[in-house]
Amino acid sequence: MSASREDTAARRPGRGAEPYTLASLVEVAATAFLERGYDATSMEDLSRAAGITKSSFYHHVSGKEALLRGALDRALDGLFGVLAEPAALEGPPVDRLRHIVRRQVEVLATELPYVTLLLRLRGNTETERWALARRREFDQAVASLVREATEAGATHPQVDPGVAARLLSGTVNSLIEWYRPGRVPVPDLVDAVERQVFDGLLGASG
């Protein structure tokens, strides 16, 4: 762990701005976790990124795990919010799937650090296992839709729907590995992922 740790710009709340809130510190933490990984990021790193000492940092937050939990909550809220949208609940399976994929890309893009944290969990603590369980719920909802779509004859039947669903989720989630805000306009990204997922590289339609 010899990498420079000064590259995250320190930022204190400006004159007259809000004091440190859990949400603002979760944001700082998630950004740092995104760069170096959760385990490799120390509380010292985080406090410096927030522009205060480690002790002061502890005055605002109970510990590292609380930051993790706050970030995971935000990620899961975003994802489950998509499942609750009307267009995800009504209509032919393929249309609902299309809507979910498109909105999921938007959530990944806008909540990038939080979702990244969720997708990199290994289940080492109780908090992590809880979040992983919720994530599995989300994946299973998507998998059910893929199965329905296959039963309705909308997808090619040669591939096991369970495997197809995992590859679909994998394609969408892989965004966290390279997408960074501003690089590609989100609407373009949404279209690209939809196309790749439903039509593949060779895509007949369009």
Partner DNA sequence: GTCTATAATAGGATAGAC
Partner DNA sequence: GTCTATCCTATTATAGAC
Q: Find the shortest distance in angstroms from Cβ 167 to a copy of itself.
A: 4
Binding mask 8-37 for DNA (x = CB under 7 A): ----x------xx-----------------
- Residue 132 touches a copy of itself, criterion: CB under 8 A: no
What minimum distance in Å lies between the beta carbon of 16 and a copy of itself?
A: 36
Q: Which does 192 bind (CB under 5 to 8 A by kind): a copy of itself, DNA, none?
A: a copy of itself
Residue 130 burial (C-beta neighbours within 10 Å; 0-12, 13-18, 19+): middle
Question: How many whole angstroms separate alpha carbon 4 and alpha carbon 1?
Answer: 9
Least distance between DNA and beta carbon 41 (Å): 7
Q: How far apart are the first and last CA of the chain?
A: 48
Task: Provide DSSP, 167-201.
Answer: HHHHHHHGGGGT--TTSS-HHHHHHHHHHHHHHTT
Which range binds a copy of itself by CB under 8 A, 15-23, 31-39, 52-60, 75-83? 31-39
Orientation of helix 22-36 relative to helix 64-83, angle to 10°: 90
In contact, 175 and 108? CB cutoff 8 Å = yes
d(CA 176, CA 104) in angstroms, rounded, equals: 12
Which of 4, 55, 158, 205 contacts DNA by CB under 7 A?
Answer: 55
Site stretch for DNA (CB under 7 A), options 25-33, 38-46, 140-148, 154-162: 38-46
Q: How many residues bind a copy of itself (CB under 8 A)?
A: 55
Q: Which two tokens stand for residue 88?
A: 């995800």
- Is 171 a binding residue for DNA by CB under 7 A? The answer is no
Structure tokens at 11: 């930022």
Chain positions contacting a copy of itself, by CB under 8 A: 1-3, 35-37, 39-40, 94, 97, 120, 122-126, 146, 149, 154-156, 158-160, 163-164, 166-171, 173-175, 177-178, 184, 188-189, 191-193, 195-206
